[in-house]
Amino acid sequence: MAALTLYPQSERLPRGERITFNLYMVSALLLFVLMMTLGLIMRMGQGLWLNVPPDLFYRILSMHGAGMVGTMSLATTAVMWFFLRKYVTLHLWAFLANYLLFLTGALIIIGAIFIGRYAGLWTFLYPLPTHPMGMWENSAAACFMVGYLFIGVGSLLFYLDAAAGIIARYGNFGRAMGLQWLFGGTIDPDHPKTVVAGTMVVIANSLGILAGAVVLVMYLVAIAYPGFTMNALYAKNLTYWFGHMYINAAIYMGVIAVYELLARYSGRPYAISRPFLWSWAASCVFVIIVFPHHLLMDYAQPRWVSVTGQVVSYLAGFPVFLVTVWGALNNIHRSGMRWTTPARLMILSLFGWAAGIVPAILDGTIGINRVMHNTQWVPGHFHFYLLLGVLPMVLALLYHVVGSRRGAAPDSAADRIGVPVYLVGGMVFALAFLDAGHMSVARRMSSHLPAWIMNDRVGAIGASLVLLAMLYFAARIIAGLLRAPSVESAANAAA
């Protein structure tokens, strides 16, 4: 079956596309290393192993939060593009424009933080950015907002191009997501999972980015005209609608790599099914309306909004996750799959996603949220499924792509050691956060009480292991990406 061809010819990248893909992924890997380094600095500062002044700590925290989420989205956008282009027509100019706008926005944000001294965090909650109490100028806050707008415009350009390609090929979004088969009919076994997932991301994240654009523009108006005021609760809803959607889209774009690659390494077809289509259709609705679970402590929120956030937190967390993990486990059971580095990374990603979603759903429970939400439980759950879930999906694709250019995926002894080092470091790092949340350690604090220091130091040790493994992965993959495809690998792909 074509779906089981390890390196199909349809995935070979012409020179221009290969260069652009390399730009995305090399930039993402370097940024991941930088953002992890900043995270380690913060944990070491909290553990009193480094002297990190509070003003610097909050600038680093602003950079780490905005930078890590943005970088994750950059990398998984490249994952979605890499596979979606096989099924619909995508234009290279839109893909490249997204990269250039992201890079421009990132540089503006870096300047706002490290030159302008902005330290209002990625959430930029009203009215903090415009009331810095002498810590930064309003111009720095404005630059931060403008940087976000550049990144958002780039993402929208990519999504609009993807939407045009999907509609041109399938007629409308409903048919692309397979809605015509929800209640009956014979499902086309060749209907691509990538198209189903990609369509859902285009619909949901476009709405989220537009919500973010509204609140960012309102902020810019407030900065230019100090007499202009906003409803703080309205601004917070728009902010978290944008933020929640953006990072969830990164997860859903990343899982496309598992859908596309797992069957090739197991040697068994990974068929599309009605439960799969139902799950993605339901999640498309749920992910758009679930964001109020971030606002359960905002007692001024209308009660029905909080109830919606509570109920949908349970509904949204399971459909795609369950159908993906169940399908993957069925696919690899007794398959005799060779545990090469890409295969190990894919299974690690499913574990990270599965385990990380549990504390996330717990935090979406009102009774638990009242105690846990402003503690380190929150960074614990999202570091768990981003670090051990989404990032391994990206790394799996990159190891696979490097393998397609050299005839076989890298799988040296160092690669085999790198994965467990990354896993152990990630587990220690994430569990230190979750344990601190259980101890009611407040989140976003630069200085900690003596009773919390040991937990911070354990987290710093875990972060060091993650960074060490990531440095190896980045060097290994970048060297492979910058290497021109060999004649032998091209011949194998053609065969």
pLDDT digits (tens, 9 = 90+) for 45-79: 999 999 999 999 999 999 998 999 999 999 999 99
Higher-pLDDT residue of 483 and 83 is: 83
For the four alpha carbons of 76, 79, 85 and 88, in that order, the dihedral sign comes to: negative
190-207: average pLDDT: 94
Q: What is the mean pLDDT of the chain?
A: 89
Phi-psi sector, 303: left (phi>0), alpha (psi -120 to 50), beta: alpha
Which helix (H) or strand (E) segment holds residue 454: the answer is: helix 453-481
Give the number of other Cβ atoms within 10 Å of residue 330's Cβ: 14
C-alpha span between 182 and 277 (Å, rounded): 7
- Contact between 215 and 238 under an 8 Å Cβ cutoff? The reply is yes
- Residues β-bridged to residue 442: 375
Radius of gyration over every alpha carbon of the chain, rounded to an integer in angstroms: 22
- Asked if the model's pLDDT at residue 1 lies above 50, the reply is no
Q: Tell me what percent of the chain is helix, strand and coil, each rounded to the nearest 5.
A: 75, 0, 25
In three-state secondary structure terms, 375 is: strand
| Burial classification of residue 304, based on how many CB atoms lie within 10 Å of its CB (0-12 exposed, 13-18 middle, 19 or more buried) | exposed
277-303: average pLDDT: 85
- Asked if the model's pLDDT at residue 486 lies above 80, the reply is no
pLDDT tens sequence across 369-404: 778 888 999 888 889 989 999 999 999 999 999 998
In three-state secondary structure terms, 277 is: helix
Q: Kindly give the residue spans of alpha helices, DSSP state H, lying in 227-340.
A: 232-254, 256-266, 274-289, 303-317, 319-332
DSSP summary character for residue 102: H
Q: Look at residues 209, 194, 156, 200 and name the one whose alpha carbon lies nearest to residue 174.
A: 200
pLDDT recorded at residue 2: 45
pLDDT recorded at residue 494: 43
- Contact between 4 and 489 under an 8 Å Cβ cutoff? The reply is no
- Asked if the model's pLDDT at residue 435 lies above 90, the reply is yes
pLDDT recorded at residue 172: 95
Domains and CATH numbers, the chain: 2-494 (1.20.210.10)
Whether the model clears a pTM of 0.85, i.e. scores above it, the answer is yes
pLDDT recorded at residue 40: 96
Terminal alpha carbon distance of the chain? 13
Q: Which residues lie below 8 Å from residue 411, measured CB to CB, with a gap of 6+?
A: 340, 341
C-alpha span between 10 and 33 (Å, rounded): 31
Bond before 450 cis per omega within 30 degrees = no
- Contact between 116 and 137 under an 8 Å Cβ cutoff? The reply is yes
- Contact between 453 and 439 under an 8 Å Cβ cutoff? The reply is no
DSSP string, 6-71: SS-GGGPPPHHHHHHHHHHHHHHHHHHHHHHHHHHHHHHHHTTSS---HHHHHHHHHHHHHHHHHH
